[in-house]
Amino acid sequence: MRIAAVDVFEMTVPFSDGAEKLGAPPGRWLAFETVLVRVTTADGLTGWGEAFAYGCQASVAAAVRSMVSPLLIGRDASDPAALTLDLQRKLHIFGRYGITLFAISGADIALWDLRAKAEGVSLASLVGERQRDSVPSYASLVRYGRPDLVERFAAQAVAEGYRSVKLHEIDMDAIRAGRRGAGQNTHLTVDANCAWSLEQARVLLPQFEEVQLGWLEEPLFPPEHFDALTELASGGQVAIAAGENACTRYEFARLIRSGVTFPQPSVTKVGGVTEFTAALREAASAGKTCMPHSPYFGPGYLATVQLLAVAPGEPLLETLYVTSGGIAGLRTALPCGGAMEISTGPGIGFEPDWEVFERFAVKP
Ligand SMILES: [Mg+2]
């Protein structure tokens, strides 16, 4: 299983949030930037991974090409965890969060996919004990910034079968509109993407309680100030979720010991399958359920679905509630009626759709 090549594919894929003809403001987020990684062995086996790249695509691609790839070529791929920890050791001076770890995550997912395919088993079977054959999914709405649109799309997601809806709104009128649209019996959450200070969030807590949030995600800046999250959590009844901005099992161990109820590893950021599974173990030992971050549709999405097969507790799959202009993998299954079947085929189940690769490739 000697590694012969590491290839990097950059794509920018437009998507529709459904609001184009409804007077939604221009300049919204309407395209995914992705960096896919393919590892090929000398005997022709391939594995696929995805590195988080929203807003940092060229940098992440350069990190995979110039930092990660040279350390992998010629190495034995049979022990992904050991190889990834070696990457982490050799690259630690370039940061234990951000671009470096995103690049390592892409390679790590590819190495695990490769190993699972070599053994002819699914990633889930390789990394743990299967807890479930399907996982409930929630509709993760993009930020519309307008109450009428939030209400409309929350209602639409519920009508399509989602029993849980997440808003990315930070204005209380928009959040209340989301509750109206989703209805009283729907599990509703809000992701603020680190919008507030502790003091600002504290003032809003009673309103979040009134809207009955299942969790409040990443309310505070800076995201690594876990003591502030603990303080916020202790000041009210709203469960706090956080972790998409945390990398490695060590930061997750700290996060899991904090007042955060739902840790949220992102497989394309945290350090890949190696660190994600370590975070799952940390969460399980603390009796907490991970609610992974996965607003993507490529190998990172497929890896997340596999990892949810073995995740303890009652996790939900995040599905970005948009229509993608193209999906990089052939026959990529998406949730149906708010639930996602978990494939038992080899690896993560990614097969490139070269036509999509070609159409959305970033041309130098
Ligand atoms: Mg989030």
Tell me: pLDDT of 23 over 90: no
Q: In whole angstroms, give the CA distance from residue 84 to residue 107.
A: 8
Where are the alpha helices (H) located in the chain, listed in sequence order?
57-63, 69-72, 80-91, 99-119, 123-127, 147-159, 172-182, 198-211, 226-234, 248-257, 272-285, 299-310, 354-360
Ligand 1 centroid to Cα of residue 115, in Å, is 30
Question: Residue 258 has what DSSP assignment?
Answer: T
pLDDT attached to residue 241: 98
Tell me how far the alpha carbon of residue 129 lies from the centroid of ligand 1, in angstroms: 27
> How far apart are alpha carbons 68 and 90 in whole angstroms?
9
45 CA → ligand 1 middle, Å: 34
Q: Sketch out the chain's domains with CATH numbers.
A: 3-120+354-360 (3.30.390.10), 125-341 (3.20.20.120)
Q: From the CA of 292, how far away is ligand 1's center (Å)? A: 9
pLDDT above 80 (res 31): yes
Question: For residue 79, how far is its CA from the centre of ligand 1 (angstroms)?
Answer: 31
Distance 114 CA to ligand 1 centre (A): 28
pLDDT of 73 strictly over 80: yes
- Confidence label for 114 from pLDDT (cuts 50, 70 and 90): very high
284-325 pLDDT tens trace: 999 999 999 999 999 999 999 999 999 999 999 999 999 999
For residue 276, give every residue at least 6 positions away whose Cβ sits within 8 Å of its Cβ, in sequence order, or none: 265, 267, 270, 292, 307
- How far is the centre of ligand 1, averaged over its atoms, from the C-alpha of 243 (Å)? 8
pLDDT for 26 beyond 90? no
118 Cα: distance to centroid of ligand 1 (angstroms): 33
Given a contact cutoff of 8 angstroms between Cβ atoms, the answer to whether 63 and 99 are in contact is yes
Res. 117 pLDDT band, cuts 50 70 90? very high
- Above pLDDT 70, what percent of the chain? 100
The chain-wide mean pLDDT, for the chain, equals 97
CA of 101 to the centre of ligand 1 (A): 18
CA of 363 to the centre of ligand 1 (A): 29
Whether the predicted pLDDT of 28 surpasses 90: no
pLDDT at residue 364 tops 80: no
pLDDT tens-place string over residues 225-266: 999 999 999 999 999 999 999 999 999 999 999 999 999 999
CA of 94 to the centre of ligand 1 (A): 25
Distance 218 CA to ligand 1 centre (A): 7
Q: Would you place residue 27 in the very low, low, confident or very high pLDDT band (cuts 50, 70, 90)?
A: confident
Give residue 24's pLDDT.
85
